[in-house]
Amino acid sequence: MRFPIRLLAALSLALSTILSAPAWAQAAAPVSAQPYAAPDRELMVPVEGGRVYVRVNGVIGKGATPVVFIHGGPGGTHDGFAAMLGLADERPVILYDQLDSGRSDRPNDPANWRVERFVSELESIRQALGVDRWHVVGHSWGSAIALEYAARYPEHVASSVLAGTYISTPRWIADANALLTELPKPVQATIAACEGTAPPPASDCDAATEVFYAHFNRREPASPELIAYVRNIGGHGFNPVIYNAMWGPSEFRSTGSLKDYDAVPLLARIDGARTMFLVGQYDEARIDTVQDFARQTPGSELAVVPGAAHGMITDRPIATEAILRGWFRRHDGE
Q: Residue 127's pLDDT band (boundaries 50, 70, 90)?
A: very high
Q: Establish if 31 belongs to a structural domain.
A: yes
Helix (H) or strand (E) holding 277: strand 275-280
Q: Locate the DSSP E strands across 48-98.
A: 50-57, 67-70, 93-96
Which residues does the annotation mark as catalytic?
140, 283, 310
Kindly state whether residue 203 falls inside one of the protein's structural domains.
no
Sequential DSSP letters for 220-248: SPPPHHHHHHHHHH-S----HHHHHHHT-
Here the CATH number for the domain that contains residue 62 is 3.40.50.1820
Closest to 99 (Cα-Cα) out of 87, 88, 110, 83: 110
Confidence of residue 5 (pLDDT cuts 50, 70, 90): very low
- How much is the pTM? 0.91
- pLDDT for residue 28 is more than 90: no
- The CA R_g of the chain, rounded to the nearest whole Å, is 19
What's the confidence (pLDDT) of residue 264? Answer: 98
Judged against a pLDDT cut of 50, whether residue 9 lies above it is answered with no
The answer to whether 316 and 279 are in contact (CB under 8 A) is no
Any domain includes 204: no
Give domain status of residue 54, yes or no. Answer: yes
Phi-psi region of 115 (alpha: psi -120 to 50; beta: other; left: phi over 0): alpha
Instruction: Walk across the sheet containing 50-57 and list its strands.
Output: 41-47, 50-57, 93-96, 67-70, 134-139, 157-163, 275-280, 301-305
Q: What's the pLDDT tens digit per position in 155-204?
A: 999 999 999 999 999 999 999 999 999 999 999 999 999 999 999 999 99
Q: Mean of the pLDDT values across residues 222-241?
A: 95
Q: How many CA atoms lie within 13 A of 305 on its CB side?
A: 31
Q: Looking at the domain assignment, is residue 248 inside a domain?
A: yes
Residue 229 domain boundaries: 5-172+223-331
* Residue 75 belongs to a domain: yes
Give SS3 for 210.
helix
* DSSP structure class, residue 284: S
Does the residue 146 lie in any domain?
yes
Work out the average pLDDT over 66-72: 98
- Structural domains in the chain (count): 1
Does residue 177 sit within a domain?
no
Angstrom distance (rounded) from CA 74 to CA 104: 13
**What is the per-residue pLDDT across 101-123, written as a single tens digit (0 to 9) for each?**
999 999 999 999 999 999 999 99
